[in-house]
Amino acid sequence: MGHGEKGGRPFKKFKGAAKFEDSRKTFAEDDDPYGGDHDAYEDDEGKIKDFSQLELKPDHVNRPLWACDNGRIFLETFSPLYKQAYDFLIAIAEPVCRPESMHEYNLTPHSLYAAVSVGLETETIIAVLNKLSKTKLPKEMIKFIHESTANYGKVKLVLKKNRYFVESPFPEVLKTLLRDDGISRARITSEGAHGDGFTISKALGEIEGTHDELLNQAEVAAAAEEKEAHAFEIDPAQVENVKQRCLPNALNYPMLEEYDFRNDTVNPDLDMELKPQAQPRPYQEKSLSKMFGNGRARSGIIVLPCGAGKSLVGVSAACRIKKSCLCLATNAVSVDQWAFQFKLWSTIRDEHICRFTSDSKERFRGNAGVVVTTYNMVAFGGKRSEESEKIIEEIRNREWGLLLMDEVHVVPAHMFRKVISITKSHCKLGLTATLVREDERITDLNFLIGPKLYEANWLDLVKGGFIANVQCAEVWCPMTKEFFAEYLKKENSKKRQALYVMNPNKFRACEFLINYHERARGDKIIVFADNLFALTEYAMKLRKPMIYGATSHVERTKILQAFKTSKDVNTVFLSKVGDNSIDIPEANVIIQISSHAGSRRQEAQRLGRILRAKGKLQDRMAGGKEEYNAFFYSLVSTDTQEMYYSTKRQQFLIDQGYSFKVITSLPPSDEGSRLHYHHLDDQLALLGKVLNAGDDAVGLEQLEEDADEIALKSARRSQGSMSAMSGAKGMVYMEYSTGRNKGQQIKSKPKDPAKRHFLFKKRFGPT
Amino acid sequence: MPEVRIIAKNFMDMVASMPAMKLDKLYENAFICEAILRSLPPLAKKYVLQLLHIDGPVSAKLLAEWVLPDGLSKHKVAIDRLVQLRVFVEALDRKNEKTYKVNSTYQRSLQNLLVHGGTLPRESMPSNITVRLLTLEELETYALTQWERFLLQLISPSQVDKNLNISSSLMKVFQRRLLSQRDREAPKLTESGFQFLLMDTNAQLWYIIREYISNSEERGVDAGDLISFMLELSFHVIGEAYNTDTLTDFQRNIIKDLADLGLVKLQQGRKESWFIPTKLATNLSVSMTESSSRKEGFVVVETNFRVYAYSTSKLHCEILRLFSRVEYQLPNLIVGAITKESLYNAFENGITADQIVSFFRQNAHPRVAQRIPAVPENVTDQIRLWESDLNRVEMTDAYYYDEFPSRDVFEGACDCAREWNGLLWEDSKKMHLVVKSEVHPYVRDFLRRQK
* Domains defined for chain B, CATH in brackets: 12-116 (1.10.10.10), 136-289 (no CATH), 296-390 (no CATH), 398-450 (3.30.70.2610)
Judged by phi (left if over 0) then psi (alpha if -120 to 50, else beta), residue A470 lies in beta
Element (H, E) at B186: none
Sequence length of chain B is 451
Hey, are the CB atoms on B385 and A72 less than 8 Å from each other? Answer: no
Q: How far is A759 from B6, CA to CA, in rounded Å? A: 67
Provide, as residue numbers in chain B, all residues whose Cβ is less than 8 Å from the Cβ of A102: 300, 302, 306, 308
Nearest residue on chain A to B384, alpha-carbon basis: A662
Provide, as residue numbers in chain A, all residues whose Cβ is less than 8 Å from the Cβ of B337: 41
DSSP state of B296: P
Which residues are CB-contacts of B119 (< 8 A; sequence separation ≥ 6)?
none
Hey, are the CB atoms on B304 and A657 less than 8 Å from each other? Answer: yes
> Greater confidence, B426 or A713?
B426
Provide, as residue numbers in chain A, all residues whose Cβ is less than 8 Å from the Cβ of B388: none
Hey, are the CB atoms on A660 and B328 less than 8 Å from each other? Answer: no
Q: How far is B38 from B45, CA to CA, in rounded Å? A: 8
3-state DSSP of A603-632: HHHHHHCCCECCCCHHHHCCCCCCCCCEEE
Q: How far is B61 from A576, CA to CA, in rounded Å? A: 78
Nearest residue on chain A to B328, alpha-carbon basis: A49
Q: How far is B346 from B291, CA to CA, in rounded Å? A: 28
CB of A432 closer than 8 Å to CB of A303: yes
Cα separation of the two ends of chain B? 58
Q: How far is A287 from A304, CA to CA, in rounded Å? A: 9
Hey, are the CB atoms on B306 and A102 less than 8 Å from each other? Answer: yes
Minimal Cβ distance to B303: which of A54, A657, A662: A657
- Contact pairs from chain A to chain B, CB under 8 Å: 84
Hey, are the CB atoms on B302 and A99 less than 8 Å from each other? Answer: yes
**pLDDT tens across B52-75, in order?**
888 888 888 888 888 888 888 889
The helices-and-strands tally (H runs, E runs) of chain B is 23, 15
Please list, residue by residue across B196-205, b when 16 or more beta carbons sit within 10 angstroms of its beta carbon and e when fewer do. Answer: bbbbbbbbbb
Nearest residue on chain A to B385, alpha-carbon basis: A662
Write down the pLDDT at residue B29. Answer: 82
Of A230, A601, A673, the residue nearest A434 (C-alpha) = A601
A444: closest CA of chain B, how far (Å): 28
Hey, are the CB atoms on A104 and B306 less than 8 Å from each other? Answer: yes
CB of B405 closer than 8 Å to CB of B377: no
Provide, as residue numbers in chain B, all residues whose Cβ is less than 8 Å from the Cβ of A658: 303
Provide, as residue numbers in chain B, all residues whose Cβ is less than 8 Å from the Cβ of A135: 330-331
B76: closest CA of chain A, how far (Å): 41
Numbered residues of chain B with Cβ closer than 8 Å to any chain A Cβ: 300, 302-306, 308, 312, 325-333, 335, 337, 367-368, 376-379, 381-382, 385
Phi, psi values for residue A180, rounded to 5°: -80, 130
Q: Which amino acid is at A358?
A: S
Q: Is the pLDDT of residue B289 over 70?
A: no
Element (H, E) at B307: strand B306-309
Phi, psi values for residue A288, rounded to 5°: -70, -35
A97: closest CA of chain B, how far (Å): 8
Of A453, A442, A434, the residue nearest A416 (C-alpha) = A442
Which residues are CB-contacts of A693 (< 8 A; sequence separation ≥ 6)?
A495, A498, A533
Write down the pLDDT at residue B370. Answer: 80
Q: Is the pLDDT of residue B433 over 70?
A: yes
Sign of CA dihedral A199, A200, A203, A205: positive
Q: Which amino acid is at A213?
A: E
Phi, psi values for residue A355, rounded to 5°: -105, 140
Minimal Cβ distance to B304: which of A46, A654, A661: A654
Q: How far is A513 from A633, CA to CA, in rounded Å? A: 9
Hey, are the CB atoms on B300 and A658 less than 8 Å from each other? Answer: no
Q: Is the pLDDT of residue B347 over 80?
A: yes
Write down the pLDDT at residue B362. Answer: 82
> Greater confidence, B168 or B235?
B235
Hey, are the CB atoms on A78 and B367 less than 8 Å from each other? Answer: yes
CB of B301 closer than 8 Å to CB of B270: no
Band (pLDDT 50/70/90 cuts) for residue B420 is confident
Hey, are the CB atoms on B304 and A99 less than 8 Å from each other? Answer: yes
What is the full DSSP assignment across A661-709? EEE---S-GGGGGGSSS-SHHHHHHHHHHHHHS-TTTTSB---TTTSHH
Write down the pLDDT at residue B290. Answer: 44
Nearest residue on chain B to A79, alpha-carbon basis: B367
Q: How far is A364 from A324, CA to CA, in rounded Å? A: 10
Peptide bond into A138 cis (omega under 30): no
| Percent share of chain B, pLDDT over 70 | 90
Residue stretches of chain A with pLDDT short of 50: 1-45, 192-193, 204-213, 215-226, 620-623, 704-767
Least confident range from A440-444, A529-533, B20-24, B76-80: namely: A440-444
Which residues are CB-contacts of A280 (< 8 A; sequence separation ≥ 6)?
A288, A309, A312, A313, A316
> Greater confidence, B372 or B108?
B108
Phi, psi values for residue A468, rounded to 5°: -65, 150
Judged by phi (left if over 0) then psi (alpha if -120 to 50, else beta), residue A91 lies in alpha
Q: Is the pLDDT of residue B368 over 60?
A: yes
Q: How far is B197 from B178, CA to CA, in rounded Å? A: 9
Nearest residue on chain A to B325, alpha-carbon basis: A46
Q: How far is A233 from A164, CA to CA, in rounded Å? A: 6
3-class DSSP state for residue A656? Answer: coil
B298: closest CA of chain A, how far (Å): 13
Residue B73 CB-density burial (10 A; 0-12 exposed, 13-18 middle, 19+ buried): exposed
Numbered residues of chain A with Cβ closer than 8 Å to any chain B Cβ: 41, 46, 48-56, 60, 66, 68, 72, 74, 78, 97, 99-102, 104, 134-135, 654-655, 657-662, 664
Write down the pLDDT at residue A590. Answer: 92
Q: How far is A761 from A754, CA to CA, in rounded Å? A: 8
